Structure 1
Amino acid sequence: MTGTIGLVHITGKPSDSEEDPVHPRKLASTLAAAAVVAGTALTLVTHAGASAAVGTAALASNWYASAPYLMPQSNNPPDPTTVMAATGQKAFQLAFILAPNGGGCTPTWDGTSAVSSDTAVAGVISRIRGAGGDVSVSVGGYGGTKLGQTCGTPDATAAAYQQVIDKYGLHAIDFDLEEPEYENDAAINNELGAAQILQRNNSGLFVSVTMPGTSAGTGWFGTQLLDKSKNLGFTPNNFSIMPFDGGFNGAASQTSALEAFHSLLMSHLGWDSATAYAHEGFSGMNGKSDAGEYFYQSDFQTVLDYATSHGLGRFTYWSVNRDRPCTTTTDNGVCSNVSQNDWDFTKYTAKFAGATPPVTTTPPTSTPPTTTPPGNGSCPAAWSATTAYNGGAVVSYNGHSWTAKWWTYGDTPGGAAGVWTDNGTC
């Protein structure tokens, strides 16, 4: 997944800085299972020839709409049944299906493990289903080569994804459309066309489409995606945006982006307000984002209240692998970098589905960890009028620390442009 920055073009192709902030969030961590996080060093049990229990009955759609992302093979995956017992969450969004790293139009996990010969992820799915849950599978994500890029047509792309549906007996699938595919017109045509074919050929299949978010709802490529969907006559269960890694600051900025996206759904798809809300989704990020934004439990509660009061069709986040406090590592792929109990953020997706999670003691409300950014003394490097800064960059100016909301050049911290967030004295 990726976010985008706040400046949006209505017509014409935006600059790279508007659509593609630095965003390693969904790349497999090099630590993978080597990172040891207190209380979660549980090994996922798999068996040779493990079955994904094809034919398992579908859950109610509210569970697929709430399924948080989980990488089953990377980023020190937790035991999902432990998470289920602690939160009441029944479904997970397993990530990611990609084209093979060496090329071709066959599905793999993370570009390396062929779906056709997989037993490891099948074993994880069997454990989840054995505990009364189910999974959706997410295709795409940030980084790697997508099947929409390597398969020549929508039909060929759909045939590759149909292998995944058949292998695991899926009732839900997520199209996470991000870089580098997001700006590739032919690839997006393949992905949306494939989604429509799968929806038509698999009765009752829950289909979500996830895309970058901006303060204006989504960027230029996002609106083009909506227009393509309308021209195809394709209506997924929801279009979801990811309002983070683009100058966002807490829940208020996220709900504002969701309102803006609601307007785009109406204007580009011709929907009334209620229909737009019902087909709109939120995909957040817990704790510290890659751009240095912080989203706490209270932020998730605020967005959840917005989602339920407006009848949104989806509420999810990236990722369960990160839904635990940092202890022996601060690797952002395997822990949240905020004060929390294990699985605090997953409880909000369970609440969206209508569950009442078990009660645990909540840590005190936290603030971003105190660190000394690079620079002189206790302040980060001084702001320079001749330096271009990406969103999330931290500088010092007039004795204060400032964080860039989006790409900027020559805009003075504290100036009228409103580009910089004041972090206080340093």
Structure 2
Amino acid sequence: MQRSRLAATLVAAATVAGAAAVVAATAHAQAGASTGLDNNWYAAAPYLMPQSNNPPDPVTVMNATGQKAFQLAFILAPKGGGCSPTWDGTSPVSSDTTVGDAINRIRGNGGDVSVSVGGYGGTKLGQTCGTVDATAAAYQQVVTKYNLKAIDFDLEEPEYEDTAAIANELGAAKKLQADNPGLFVSVTMPGTAAGTGWFGTQLLDKAKSIGFSPNNFSIMPFDGGFNGGGASQVSALEAFHGLLQSHLGWDSETAYSHEGFSGMNGKSDTSEYFNVSDFQTVYDYATSHHLGRFTFWAVNRDRQCTTTTDNSVCSNVQQNDWDFTKFTTRFAGATPPQTTPPTSPTSPTSNPPGTCSAPDWQKTQVYTGGNVVSHNGHKWTAKWWTQGEEPGTTGQWGVWTDNGGC
């Protein structure tokens, strides 16, 4: 899997300009104390690179979506070697002010952050620190520096296939969990059509063998085998549910509650396309099965491409800015503000969508004849009793009458 995740994918000018926007308001290094949020917010925190990939202003995103938490990425070992935490392998956590100031801005606006360690590529602390205790001590510096209430272990290549490195990471995660009561710990790993691959099942077995049970195990169902969009992702999540049962000995309800989705919004690096409608499909599955986490890579990409098609900074699908972030807001239990869905430049319509005052259509809600809802920028009226039939998917013979754009 190749993802536009690390600094090697960046354009220097965009990085400098984006980072400046993130840190404009404050100047001190330490992230202020956080009273924390409910765990549902940490379970619904989308990934955001605060120093790379032309980062958006997190406060702007918060105000536009209602989102309160972000998953800041990534903590790595120094590129020159060693066992001290850095951002992207280049910026030491010990002397950081940039990310700390961004965290202060988020907390000052009523939110909080989790920090993600690892990611795809780069050298991980589990590879360089040598022991569980040394790895945990390095990560504890991050927890202490930023007063964290949540941390994510994104376990991917190249450490994913390194048994000793994975043992250090999982052992460190268990130690952090014990040493920081209440710390929300998530583990994220690659996804396959079978749920996860051989190395993923070995990771689950290792976690069980050391008695480590995080708040959540999440898979990333993208970058290979997911051209079916949301439907293929749901199939993978259901397969992973079975793996959680068989490898960890959990019953079905426990497995679902400790399972998570970590998607990719828009075009993946293998040219899969995940549209807003695909996120809706997975969101419906996640909420109906009471999954424990719903997140995506990344807020930096959560905007329609205009002057560039760079996957690291825009989605390459039709959307409004921050449409995908609104799913994580909803998963956390909040109602995001409504925005006008974009009109496709290649598919003009005589009834362009607009801002809808009617309530959003909900898959699980029962509607009767005459009920009015909004969906995808149009207003719809039910002809008769219905539940679960999505407006616009069943044509003129369906239950919903299209009243045009709002």
- TM band (smaller chain): 0.7 to 0.9
The structural deviation recorded for 1:158 is 0.2
Superimposed CA distance per residue, residues 260-316 of structure 1 (whole angstroms, 9 cap, x where no aligned partner): 000000000000000000000000000000000000001001100100000000000
Alignment of 1:168-183 (within 5 A): 168-183=146-161
Superimposed CA distance per residue, residues 174-198 of structure 1 (whole angstroms, 9 cap, x where no aligned partner): 0000000000000000000000000
CA distance in 1 between counterparts of 2:333 and 2:308 reads 34
RMSD: 1.9
The structural deviation recorded for 1:42 is 4.2
Query: 1:136 maps to which residue?
Result: 114
Q: Which amino acid aligns with 2:194?
A: A
CA distance in 1 between counterparts of 2:346 and 2:4 reads 21
Q: Which amino acid aligns with 2:259?
A: E
Query: 2:66 maps to which residue?
Result: 88
Higher relative contact order (CA 8 A, sep 6+): 1
The structural deviation recorded for 1:59 is 0.1
Asked whether the equivalents of residues 46 and 120 of structure 1 are also in contact (C-alpha less than 8 Å), the reply is: no
TM-score normalised per structure 2: 0.82
CA distance in 2 between counterparts of 1:246 and 1:366 reads 28
Q: Which amino acid aligns with 2:188?
A: T
Query: 1:34 maps to which residue?
Result: 14
Judging changes above 3 Å, is the alpha-carbon distance between structure 1 residues 135 and 43 closer, same or farther for their aligned structure 2 residues?
A: closer
Asked whether the equivalents of residues 32 and 76 of structure 1 are also in contact (C-alpha less than 8 Å), the reply is: no
Q: Which amino acid aligns with 2:164?
A: A
1:205 is the counterpart of 2:174: no
The structural deviation recorded for 1:363 is 1.8
Asked whether the equivalents of residues 15 and 55 of structure 2 are also in contact (C-alpha less than 8 Å), the reply is: no
Query: 1:185 maps to which residue?
Result: 163
Q: Select 1:244's aligned residue among 185, 202, 222.
A: 222
Q: Which amino acid aligns with 1:329?
A: T
Q: Select 1:254's aligned residue among 221, 233, 236.
A: 233
* Percent of aligned positions that are identical: 76
Query: 2:23 maps to which residue?
Result: 44
CA distance in 2 between counterparts of 1:76 and 1:167 reads 24
Query: 1:405 maps to which residue?
Result: none
Query: 1:74 maps to which residue?
Result: 52
CA distance in 2 between counterparts of 1:40 and 1:107 reads 20
- Segments of structure 1 that go 5 or more residues without pairing to the other structure are 1-20, 369-426
Other structure's SS at 1:106 match: coil
CA distance in 2 between counterparts of 1:36 and 1:104 reads 26
Asked whether the equivalents of residues 80 and 128 of structure 1 are also in contact (C-alpha less than 8 Å), the reply is: yes
Q: Select 1:295's aligned residue among 274, 284, 296.
A: 274
CA distance in 2 between counterparts of 1:319 and 1:355 reads 20
Query: 2:301 maps to which residue?
Result: 322
- Segments of structure 2 that go 5 or more residues without pairing to the other structure are 348-406
Other structure's SS at 2:341 match: coil
Asked whether the equivalents of residues 304 and 321 of structure 2 are also in contact (C-alpha less than 8 Å), the reply is: yes
Query: 1:150 maps to which residue?
Result: 128
Superimposed CA distance per residue, residues 145-170 of structure 1 (whole angstroms, 9 cap, x where no aligned partner): 00000001011000000000000000
The structural deviation recorded for 1:49 is 2.6
CA distance in 1 between counterparts of 2:345 and 2:286 reads 24
Judging changes above 3 Å, is the alpha-carbon distance between structure 1 residues 214 and 131 closer, same or farther for their aligned structure 2 residues?
A: same
Query: 1:106 maps to which residue?
Result: 84
Other structure's SS at 1:240 match: strand
Superimposed CA distance per residue, residues 308-331 of structure 1 (whole angstroms, 9 cap, x where no aligned partner): 000000000000000001111111
Q: Which amino acid aligns with 2:233?
A: Q
Asked whether the equivalents of residues 338 and 366 of structure 1 are also in contact (C-alpha less than 8 Å), the reply is: no
TM-score normalised per structure 1: 0.78
The structural deviation recorded for 1:31 is 1.2
The structural deviation recorded for 1:35 is 7.1
Other structure's SS at 1:26 match: coil
CA distance in 2 between counterparts of 1:41 and 1:306 reads 38
Q: Which amino acid aligns with 1:280?
A: E
Asked whether the equivalents of residues 153 and 187 of structure 2 are also in contact (C-alpha less than 8 Å), the reply is: yes
Other structure's SS at 1:194 match: helix
Q: Which amino acid aligns with 2:11?
A: L
Superimposed CA distance per residue, residues 336-384 of structure 1 (whole angstroms, 9 cap, x where no aligned partner): 011111101000000000111001001247999xxxxxxxxxxxxxxxx
The structural deviation recorded for 1:34 is 1.7
Query: 2:262 maps to which residue?
Result: 283
CA distance in 2 between counterparts of 1:63 and 1:367 reads 37
CA distance in 2 between counterparts of 1:51 and 1:311 reads 36
